Structure 1
C-alpha cells in the first residue's frame, strides 16, 4: 500500500484518499498509489463503488513540477486514467480546492464528479506553452460541450463549481467533498445508475458536428486577443479533433501536439518563467528560520493614483488600510476614484455586486500623518522627489509604532538616503509598485543597506498575499526594471537620430511581442515629465525637446510622437513629427539612413540585456531569472520569450557580445560595449541562467 494514497472500505464504498502535501500533485508515488488502490477496490467483492478524494486543502492541483524535464517514471498518468475509466464499478471524483491540469484530467476519467461550493476546475496547461496531454482536450468537450471547452482550455482559466454544475462537468455541489462523494456514490448504487464513460458519450458534440461554426466562433472569440502564442491555437486544433475524430484517434492527435509543444522554444520559455517566479520568492542572504514580522494593518500615505491603487491591492485581499492625505479635498478625490473603479468592475461582472461596498468599508480615509500609529506596514506613495520623501519619512519616524515596517514606493530614488531620515533604518525598504498598482502584478522589493531580514520576509510574504509577484532587488538608480528601461530608451531615441521613425521603432518592438513601443509609452507617460527633468539637470534631447517646445506632450495633449483622436488612445502616424525630426537632424548636420527592423530589435533589446549583466555584476539582482520576472510582470515582456536574460541565452551570448561591440563602434556609443560578465560568459560558451 502506498504511503501517500490509502484505500478504506466503508460498507459498499471504497474511499481512495490521496494525502501528499501540499497540493496532492501527481507524482510517481501518487500515480502508483491511485493505480494500486483502484485495482484493489475493483478486486474487492465487498466494494461496489469507488470514491477518489484528497486530504488537506485541495484536490489534485496538477502535475508534480519537480518531474518537469526529467525522464518519465512509471506508472504513466494514462495508465491511471485507464484504470479509473475502465472500472466495472462506478468511480466518483470528490473535488475540493482546485482540480487543475492533470488533476481535472483524473476527474474526467472518473464516471462521475462532485465538488464543494468553493472548488475551482480548470486545464491551465496553455500557460506553460502546452495543452492537456492526458485526454483533457478530448474528454472535456464531451463533458461540457465544445464552446465551454474552448473557453477553458484555450484561455487556461478555471471555472467555479456552480458553472461546472450548470455545464454538466459535475453532477452535484456538495457541502464537504469526501462525505458528499460517498453519499453520491451510495445514491448511484441505490438508483442503479449506469456508468457514464466520457470517451463513449458524444452527445454534446452533436451540435458542433452539425454546425461547425459553433466551434469556430468560440475559438475566434477566445483567441482574438492572443498575440504570438502557439499553444492556445494548438489546443483549439486538438479540441477540433474531438469533434472530427473517434475518441482514440483524437487522443493520439492530442499526444502528438503535446509532444511537439513540449519541445518548442515557446513552451521551454514559459516553463522557465513558471519556475523563475517561484525562485524569485526565495530571498538570498536571509538565514533559514527567520520569522517575518506580522502585518495585519496597513497605512498608505498619499491618495493619488499610486496610493489609491496600492490601497485597493491591500483591501482586495481583505487587509484593512488607513489612507492618509494632507487635506480633505485630496482625500475625497482619491476615495471617489477608488469607488468608481470598484463600481465599474462590478458593473462588468469582474467582482460581486456587493464587493465595492465591502472593500471601501476596509478603507479608513483620514487627514494627518499622525493616524499611522497603529499600522504594522506603512507605505509612502507621495510625489517622486527626494526632498518630499525625506520630509515624509522624518514624520513617519515620529509617529509610527516601534517595529512598524516603513516602505517607500519610489521608482528611482536612493532608499539608503531616505532611511537616514529615520532612527530605524533597519525597518526601511522599498516597495516599488507598478501603475496601475491594483492591476499590475510586479512589486520590486528594494533591500536597503540596513534592512532587517524579518522585514524583507514580511514584505515578500504580504506582497504575495495581495496577489503580487515580489522580486527582491538592491538600491541603484532605477533598481532593475527602470534601469534597464532607460538603456532601451537611450537606444530608441538614438535610432531617431540615425534615420528610424517612431512608428517603425514601435512597430518592430510590438511585432517582437512587447505590448507597446517606447514612443507610444512615452506619449502615455507624458513627454513633459522627462523634459522638465532634463532641463533641471541641464541635459538636452533635441528631438524630444523640440516636440515639447511645440506643445506635443503626448496623449494628454492629443499629440506627442504620435497624434491621438479625441477619446482614443490609439497612436496614429503624424507627418508633422517626421517633418520636425527632419528639421532637427538638418539643423544638427545629420543625415538619415536606412535602419532595419533587425537593428532596432538588436540595439533596443541587447542594450537592455547588457544593462542586466551590469546589474548582476553589481549584485543588484541575485539571479538572472529575477531580472526576467521583473520584465515579465512589470513591463509586458512576451512570456513566450521567457524574459530578456533567458532570451539572451537562447540567442547566444557570443552573438550578443559581437553585435553590441559592432554597434558600439558604429555609433561611437560606449554604453553599448559588452560588460565584463557578458564577455566572460560568451568566451566560456556560458549562459546567464547557469549562474547561481
Structure 2
C-alpha cells in the first residue's frame, strides 16, 4: 500500500526547510511520518545546515493524526514517537512555522520543536478528548512543563482550539508572525543561531511542574469540573492522571509510560469507537450527493421561527448559537413569554453545567426577540414553522408567511408529518 502524504525538503542558506504536504489538512499519515523522518535525518547529517524550520503546505500546519489509519494502516512507515525522539535529540535548533491549523498530533510535533512561530490566524488545540482519546504523543507531559498544570488541564480537557495571540499569552508559542510566517520563522532561527544556537527541549523544563506539586487542588478541581461538564466520559480521568504524572513523578520518561498506558485504555474503550463514529457521521451527513460543490450559497443574516414550543425554542437557540439574529412568533403574548422563558432556562442550565458563561448567554439572548405579528417576519432571510402537527394549521401558517415574506426568502417546515 502506498504511503500517504509527503514532506518537501529545501535548503535556504544554513536553514533547512521541511514542508508537510498532505492535503487538505496535512494529517500525520504514513507518508508524512516517513517524510519527516527522512527530512530530519538529512538535515541533521548535512554539515552546512545549522537550523531547521518545519511548516505545512496550504491552510494547515499539521491537523493531527490520520484517523483513517487507526489500526493496521498506522503501522506503515516510522512511528510518530520515532520521529519525535529524533527531533528531541537534535543538536540543531528546530523552529515550527505554524502557518495554519495545528491540532492534536500536529501541536505535539510543534511542542517537540525548540521554538514556535505562529501565523496570527493559526489555531492550535488538542481536541483528542472529543474523540474519547488523549494526546498520545507527549502532549500531556510537555504542555504542563511549558504552561503549568492548571492551564494545560483546561486546554486539554475542553479540547477547544485557541488563536495564535492567545497561545502566545499562555506561552505555547514564542512569537506571532508579523509577515509571511515561514520568512519570520527563518529569521527567528537565524537570530537563535546568532545568539549561540541554543536548543530548548520542553522535556527538560521543571520549574512549572515543580511549583504545581504543592497544589494538589489543581487536580481535585479538574475532576469536579470534568464530572460536571462531561459526566460519564472515560477519557477526562485518563487525561488528569497523565498530567498528575507529569507533575508528581519528576521524570519525563516515567510520565510518558503513564501516558502510553492511559492512551491504550482510551483506545480500547467503547466510547472511543462511538465518538469516532460520530465524528465521521457528522461530516458525512453534511454532504449532499446531488448538490455540486460549486453551488452558490445563500447568505443567511436573519431568521424567523413560528412557534416557541419545544421544537421552535430549540430551532431559535440553534440560530442564536451561530450568531444569527432570530425573531420567534407566538400566537399571544403569554405563550411568547413562556417560550422565551424556557429558552433562557435552557441556557442557564448550560451555565450551571459549565458549558457556557453567563456572558455568552447574554450575548445569545440579545440575538433573540419575540413577536405576535406575522408581518414582523417579513425581512427574515429564512423562516421555519414549528407549530404542532396539524396539516390545516401548517397550511394556514404558510399562507400567512407567503403574504409577508420578502422575495427570495426561504420558508421551511419542521414537521414529522
Normalized against structure 2, the TM-score is what? Answer: 0.81
Is this contact kept in 2: 1:5–1:16, CA < 8 A?
Answer: yes
Q: Would the alpha carbon gap of residues 396 and 274 (structure 1) be closer, same or farther in structure 2, given more than 3 Å must change?
A: same
* Superimposed CA distance per residue, residues 333-373 of structure 1 (whole angstroms, 9 cap, x where no aligned partner): 799989989x998973548x9x679x74x999895449647
SS in 2 for 1:15: strand
1:178 is aligned, of 166, 182, 192, to 182
User: Which residue pairs with 1:552 in the alignment?
Assistant: none
Paired with 1:163 and 1:373, the residues of 2 have a C-alpha distance of 38
1:248 maps to what in 2?
A: 253
Whole-angstrom CA distance in 2 between matches of 1:80 and 1:44: 18
Between the aligned partners of 1:293 and 1:325, the Cα distance in structure 2 is: 30
Post-superposition CA distance 1:203-242 (Å, at most 9, x none): 2111133x15154334334323142222211121122222
1:293 Cα deviation from its structure 2 partner = 5.9
User: Cα distance 1:365–1:47, how it changes in 2: closer, same or farther (>3 A)?
Assistant: farther
- 1-side partners of 2:43 and 2:54: how far apart? 11
Indicate conservation of the 8 Å contact 2:306/2:383, yes or no.
no
Residues in 1 aligned to 2:262 and 2:196: alpha-carbon distance in whole angstroms: 39
* Long gaps (5+) in structure 2: none
Give deviations 1:498-544, integer Å, cap 9, x for gaps.
Answer: xxxxxxxxxxxxxxxxxxxxxxxxxxxxxxxxxxxxxxxxxxxxxxx
Relative to structure 1, the CA distance from residue 58 to residue 277 in structure 2 (aligned partners, 3 Å threshold; closer, same or farther) is same
**Cα gap change, 1:325 to 1:258, in 2 (>3 Å):** closer
Residue 47 of structure 2: aligned partner: 45
Residue in 1 that maps onto 2:17? 15
SS at match of 2:54: strand
Unaligned runs of 5+ in 1: 415-692
Equivalent position SS for 2:62: coil
**More deviation, 256-265/381-390:** 381-390
- Evaluate the alpha carbon distance shift between residue 327 and residue 54 of structure 1 in structure 2; reply closer, same or farther with a 3 A threshold: same
Measure the CA separation in 2 of the matches of 1:178 and 1:56: 12
Of residues 145, 154, 165, the one that matches 1:162 is 165
Distance 2:170 2:376 in 1: 54
Structure 1 match to 2:30? 28
1:257 aligns with 2:262: yes
Q: Which residue of 1 aligns with 2:68?
A: 66
2:82 is equivalent to residue 79 of structure 1: yes
CA-to-partner distance for each residue in 1:285-314, whole Å, 9 max, x for gaps? x44747656321354143746657645644
2 CA distance for matches of 1:322 and 1:149? 37
Q: Specify the alignment match of 1:201 in structure 2.
A: 205
Contact 2:129 2:236 in 1 (8 A): yes
Equivalent pairs counted in the alignment come to 401
Cα offset, 1:105, TM superposition: 0.9
**Alpha-carbon distance in 2 for matches of 1:365, 1:119:** 41
Aligned to 1:277: 282
Aligned counterpart for 1:137 among listed residues 127, 130, 140: 140
Question: Alpha-carbon deviation of 1:318?
Answer: 5.4
Matched, 1:267 2:272: yes
Whole-angstrom distance in 2 between the partners of 1:90 and 1:8: 16
Q: Deviation at 1:155? A: 3.5
Q: Is the 8 A contact 1:122 1:156 kept in 2?
A: yes
Q: CA RMSD in A?
A: 3.8
The structure-2 alpha-carbon separation of the partners of 1:220 and 1:287, relative to structure 1 and needing over 3 Å to count, comes to closer
Mapped contact 1:123–1:152 kept (Cα < 8 A): yes
Matched, 1:89 2:92: yes
Q: Does 1:390 align with 2:400?
A: no
Change (3 A) 1:222 1:14: farther
Q: Which of 223, 236, 239 does residue 235 from structure 1 map onto?
A: 239
Partner of 1:150: 153
1:219 aligned residue (218, 222, 234): 222
Superposed CA offset, 1:550-600 (max 9, x none): xxxxxxxxxxxxxxxxxxxxxxxxxxxxxxxxxxxxxxxxxxxxxxxxxxx
Task: Return the alpha-carbon distance in structure 1 between the equivalents of residues 93 and 130 of structure 2.
Answer: 33
Q: Distance in 2 between matches of 1:121 and 1:196?
A: 20
3-state DSSP of counterpart to 2:134: coil
With over 3 angstroms needed to count, the CA separation of the structure-2 counterparts of 1:315 and 1:349, relative to structure 1, is: closer
User: 2:157·2:239 contact (CA, 8 Å) conserved in 1?
Assistant: yes
What's the CA shift for 1:194? 2.1
1:251-306 Cα shifts (integer Å, max 9, x gaps): 123212222321222322222322332333345xx447476563213541437466
**Greater Rg, structure 1 or structure 2?**
1
Sort the Cα spacing of 1:89 and 1:193 in 2 relative to 1 into closer, same or farther, 3 A: closer
- Runs of 4+ residues over 6 Å off in structure 1: 326-341, 343-347, 362-366
Deviation of 1:392 (Å): 1.3
1:122 counterpart residue number: 125
The higher-RCO structure (CA 8 Å, 6+ apart) is: 2
Cα 1:363/1:348, change in 2 over 3 Å: closer
CA distance in 1, matches of 2:232, 2:57: 40
- Does the aligned pair in 2 maintain the 1:302–1:308 contact within 8 Å? no
Measure the CA separation in 1 of the matches of 2:326 and 2:227.
41
Residues 370-385 of structure 1: matches in 2 within 5 Å? Answer: 372=378, 375=381, 377-382=382-387, 385=390
Whether the 8 Å CA contact 2:305–2:327 is kept in 1: the answer is: yes
Q: CA deviation at 1:245?
A: 4.5
Contact 1:94 1:115 in 2 (8 A): yes
Is contact 2:92–2:197 with CA below 8 Å preserved after alignment? Answer: no
Task: Measure, in 2, the Cα distance between the counterparts of 1:223 and 1:373.
Answer: 43
Check the 8 A contact 2:51/2:189 in 1, yes or no: yes
Structure 2 residue 407 is the aligned partner of structure 1 residue 407: no
Alpha-carbon separation, structure 2, partners of 1:114 and 1:363 = 44
